[in-house]
Amino acid sequence: MAMLNLPLLGSDLTYYQIAFDAYKRHMYHEGFEDMWKDICGMFTFDDSKEDEICVLIVGPGKGENEIKVLNFVLKRHSSVYVRVIEPDKTAVSHFKEECDRLKKTHPNLRYEFFMNTFQEYIAKSRQSEDESKFHFVVCIASLYYMDDITDALEHLHIMIKSTGIIVSDMIDHTSSVGKLFIKQWEDETYPVTLQSGKGIKDVLQRKGWQFELKYRRAELDVSLLLDNEPEGTLVLDFIMHVVNFRHAAPKTYVDEIFSLIWQMVENVGDKKMLSANREVVVISK
pLDDT of 272 > 90? The answer is yes
Q: What global pTM score does this model have?
A: 0.90
pLDDT for the residue 4: 67
Pairing of strands 53-58, 134-140: parallel
CB atoms within 10 A of CB 114: 16
- In this predicted structure, the answer to whether residue 1 has a pLDDT above a threshold of 70 is no
Determine the Cα–Cα distance for residues 151 and 231; give it in Å rounded to an integer: 36
pLDDT score of 2? 55
| Per-residue model confidence (pLDDT) at position 48 | 64
Residue (of 241, 15, 20, 195) closest to 249 by Cα position: 241
Ranges of each domain in the chain: 9-284
Q: Collect all residues with Cβ–Cβ distance below 8 Å to 105 and sequence separation of at least 6.
A: none
Burial class (CB in 10 A: 0-12, 13-18, 19+), 166: buried
Residue 192 has pLDDT above 90, yes or no: no
Of 99 and 163, which is predicted with more confidence? 99
The phi-psi region of residue 208 (left if phi > 0; otherwise alpha if psi is between -120 and 50; otherwise beta) is: left
Q: For the chain, report the end-to-end CA distance as a whole number of angstroms.
A: 43
* Residues 278 and 218: beta-carbon distance below 8 Å: yes
| Average pLDDT of the residues in 169-198 | 84
In the structure, what pLDDT confidence band is assigned to residue 196 with cuts at 50, 70 and 90?
A: confident
Q: Which amino acid is at 205?
A: Q
pLDDT at 253: 92
Beta-sheet pairing, 266-268 with 278-284: unpaired
Task: Give residue 131's Cα distance to chain centre.
Answer: 24
* Contact between residue 209 and residue 272 where contact means Cβ atoms under 8 Å apart: no
Question: Rounded mean pLDDT of the chain?
Answer: 91
Tens digit of pLDDT for each residue in 106-155? 999 999 999 999 999 999 999 988 889 999 999 998 988 888 899 999 99
Q: Could you tell me which CATH number the domain at 9-284 has?
A: 3.40.50.150
User: What's phi and psi for 106, nearest 5 deg?
Assistant: -135, 75
> Residue 205: CA atoms inside 13 Å, Cβ hemisphere, count?
7
Q: Alpha helices of the chain — where are they, by DSSP H?
A: 13-25, 32-40, 64-76, 89-105, 118-128, 149-159, 176-186, 197-207, 223-226, 230-240, 245-248, 251-264
